[in-house]
């Protein structure tokens, strides 16, 4: 459901579509829910999920730290009022010149998952703290992050042992269990693997102090999700089981959980059409599609709730975007239904669209502008 504040904004301001409205009260509430669920963790908000300045300012004020992936994101966080010691440069794929720029701005925490990246950090950001990302399977996640990120534990161990010799501080281990992770138990095997690494490295004289358990906490789309507290309990239980009474400093990097359900995209129906005279399923073309911000509809992985305020009997539809690329189909296999009296020009609400939308919009494919964000 759109919140009262969002509903009022949509009713009072008939702005040109498509656009995203974010209710900052929901973001604040999500921050509190996460803090309550995992009280021992420091929160590093994953800026890429939604870098709207109002969101960054709010989270900075609430005490959040920030996970960034580029110098531009670092600048946005500094601009929002958080000091450099609250920033992690968590992308494992960085240019050496960007690491040097981050270092010059005072950032002292860096991720790596390969020998070459460790080399870059040690040259461009000497004496900073580094953590190594390990691979996970991504099982249970609607948007898995696959083998692109992380390395195997044995390699991570070897590289963390090297780190001290290279003039940086071997600080810890990180992992990400895959985005929109609907199974709270998926953290356990990575926590176990990390605990084993902590013990083995300690035996070799390297004392790691930080475990970064990543993001992955879900937002509610069409399917139900476990409550944030269930994640908190599963993670705490896992930390105690594998680390005993020597649990390191814990970092979480929520993106989707923080902003997903805080935003609604308003879109307009551009065209409703059949492909044949006896075609039973109508194509509904919207003024936003895969290139306008709904990239996570790829393989129909993320299924946003879509609502019309018409009351007609609902009928199955195929939903597509407005661009001249045939990949720009949103949902063809998934069961989406809209009222039979839906008309061209109607406005629809794409709900739970606060995460990974504005940042995933192309700059001007077919001349369509990137979507605007309004925070209320």
Ligand X SMILES: *Cc1c(COP(=O)(O)O)cnc(C)c1O
Residues that bind ligand X (CB under 6 A): 46, 48-49, 67, 90, 176, 179, 214-217, 253-257
Shortest CA distance to 22 belongs to which of 46, 38, 40, 6? 6
- Listed in sequence order, the residues at least 6 apart from 227 whose beta carbon sits closer than 8 Å to its beta carbon are none
Q: Positive or negative CA dihedral for 59, 31, 9, 366?
A: positive
**What's the number of CA atoms in the CB half-sphere (13 Å) around residue 155?**
13
Return the residue matching tokens 């790596």: 112
State which residue, 77 or 269, has the beta carbon closest to ligand X: 77
Shortest Cβ 255–ligand X spacing (Å): 3
HSE on the CB side for 346, CA within 13 Å?
A: 20
* Cβ atoms within 10 Å, residue 367: 6
Shortest CB 140 distance to ligand X, Å: 12
* Least Å from the CB of residue 216 to ligand X: 5
Nearest-angstrom CA–CA distance, 201 and 276? 66
Catalytic residue among 132, 151, 324, 375: 324
Nearer to ligand X, 256 or 282 (CB): 256
Output 2 or 145, the one with its CB closest to ligand X.
145
Residue number with CB closer to ligand X (225 or 338): 225
Report the nearest approach of ligand X to the CB of residue 296 (Å). Answer: 10
Residue 145 beta carbon to ligand X: minimum distance, rounded to whole angstroms: 7
Classify residue 293 as left (phi > 0), alpha (psi -120 to 50) or beta.
left
Closest CA to 63 of 40, 86, 89: 86
CA nearest neighbour of 208 among 154, 246, 155: 246
Whether 324 sits among the annotated catalytic residues: the reply is yes
The DSSP code for 67 is E
Among candidates 19, 66, 64, which has minimal Cα distance to 353?
Answer: 19
Structure tokens at 222: 């069409």
Task: Compute the least distance from the CB of residue 141 to ligand X, in Å.
Answer: 8
d(CA 194, CA 200) in angstroms, rounded, equals 10
CA distances from 4 to 8, 257, 307, 372 (A): 6, 20, 16, 20
Question: Under DSSP, is residue 32 helix (H, G, I), strand (E, B) or coil?
Answer: helix
- Whichever of 248 and 254 has its CB closer to ligand X, that residue is 254
Active-site residues, by number, are 324
């Amino acid at each position: 459901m759109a919140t009262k504040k969002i509903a009022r904004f949509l009713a009072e301001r008939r702005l040109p579509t498509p656009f995203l409205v974010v209710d900052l009260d929901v973001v604040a509430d999500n921050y509190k829910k996460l803090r309550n669920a995992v009280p021992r963790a420091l929160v590093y908000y994953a800026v890429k999920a939604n870098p709207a300045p109002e969101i960054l300012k709010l989270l900075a004020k609430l005490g959040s730290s920030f996970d960034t992936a580029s110098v531009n994101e670092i600048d946005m966080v500094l601009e929002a009022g958080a000091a450099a010691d609250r920033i992690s440069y968590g992308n494992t794929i960085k240019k050496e010149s960007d690491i040097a720029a981050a270092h010059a701005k005072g950032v002292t925490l860096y991720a790596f998952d390969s020998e070459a990246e460790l080399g870059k950090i040690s040259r461009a950001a000497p004496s900073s703290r580094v953590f190594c990302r390990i691979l996970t399977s991504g099982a249970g996640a609607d948007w898995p992050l696959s083998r692109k990120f992380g390395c195997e534990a044995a390699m991570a161990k070897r590289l963390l042992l090297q780190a001290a010799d290279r003039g940086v501080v071997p600080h810890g281990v990180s992992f990400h269990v895959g985005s929109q992770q609907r199974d709270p138990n998926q953290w356990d095997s990575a926590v176990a693997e990390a605990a084993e690494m902590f013990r083995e490295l300690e035996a070799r004289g390297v004392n790691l102090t930080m475990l970064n358990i990543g993001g992955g906490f879900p937002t509610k789309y069409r399917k139900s999700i476990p409550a944030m507290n269930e994640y908190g309990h599963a993670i705490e239980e896992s930390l105690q089981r594998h680390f005993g009474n020597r649990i390191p400093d814990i970092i979480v990097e929520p993106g989707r959980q923080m902003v997903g359900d805080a935003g609604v995209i308003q879109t307009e129906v551009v065209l409703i059409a059949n492909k044949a005279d006896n075609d039973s399923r109508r194509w509904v073309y919207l003024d936003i599609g895969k290139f306008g911000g709904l990239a996570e509809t790829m393989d129909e992985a993320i299924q946003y709730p879509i609502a019309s305020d018409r009351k007609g009997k609902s009928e199955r539809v195929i939903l597509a975007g407005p661009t001249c690329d045939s990949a720009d189909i949103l949902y063809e296999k998934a069961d989406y239904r809209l009222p039979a009296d839906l008309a061209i020009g109607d406005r629809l609400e794409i709900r739970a669209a606060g995460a990974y939308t504005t940042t995933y919009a192309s700059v001007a494919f077919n001349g369509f502008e990137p979507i605007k964000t309004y925070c209320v």
